[in-house]
Amino acid sequence: MKQVSIYDQIMRFEPFDDLDALFSDLDSFEEVPLVSRSKRVEQAEQRLGSTNISEFLVGLAFYLINSIRFTKAGHAGRPALIAITYTDLDEGYANRTLVPNIFVYPGSGGQDLHQTLKDKHHEGTSPEMDTVRGIFKRCGLEESFSFFESRFHDEACGEEIVRIYALPKA
């Protein structure tokens, strides 16, 4: 199995070839799915086996956020909250590939969000948190991240919205 061809198949049309764009002043934050098309996820599942694609994607996300952390050094004075997030945690999430997002929130807004997540953090777990932590654990990365959960009820769609944040510790 050629790793480069798998990465190319997954990443070819994704926006991560220009990491500086994640630090633009256009938006307050960026949250971009690692793989934006379900067809590419399906192709990766066929090549890698559907039982370990979530773990493969976490490894790729880990590589990307480390690259982003080094890139941000070129953006002096713009501290950022950088995380791997999961937002597609609706019904049936535990039985399908979970695609991580790359989350970058530059400036003081990112630091404020980080503090809010820490302030509202509770020690209890949820099924969504357990699932995400399990993926990181199987990759040997659980101890390298702090995990936070955000929940709110969206009146517009009448659903509870869950977001899991995995923030690198160092």
For the stretch 7-16, pLDDT in tens is 777 777 777 7
Q: Find out whether 166 and 83 touch, Cβ atoms under 8 Å.
A: yes
Is this model's pTM higher than 0.75 or not?
yes
3-state secondary structure of 98: coil
Tell me which of 32-41, 58-67, 132-141, 161-170 is least confident. Answer: 32-41
Where would I find the beta strands (DSSP E) of 43-155? Answer: 80-86, 101-106, 145-154
On the question of pLDDT at 160 being above 90, the answer is: no
Where does the pLDDT of residue 1 fall: very low under 50, low under 70, confident under 90, or very high at 90 and above?
Answer: low
What does the domain layout of the chain look like in residue ranges? 3-168
Please state, in angstroms and rounded to a whole number, the distance separating the CA atoms of residues 140 and 53. Answer: 15
In the predicted model, what is the mean pLDDT of residues 20-31?
A: 69
In the predicted model, what is the mean pLDDT of residues 110-122?
A: 90
Cα–Cα nearest to 86, from 140, 127, 27: 127
Q: Find out whether 87 and 31 touch, Cβ atoms under 8 Å.
A: yes
Please state, in angstroms and rounded to a whole number, the distance separating the CA atoms of residues 39 and 99. Answer: 12
For the stretch 139-150, pLDDT in tens is 999 999 999 999
pLDDT of amino acid 27: 60
Burial of 136 (0-12, 13-18, 19+ CB in 10 A): buried
Tell me which of 4-8, 66-70, 122-126, 128-132 is least confident. Answer: 4-8
In the predicted model, what is the mean pLDDT of residues 103-115?
A: 89
pLDDT of amino acid 26: 52
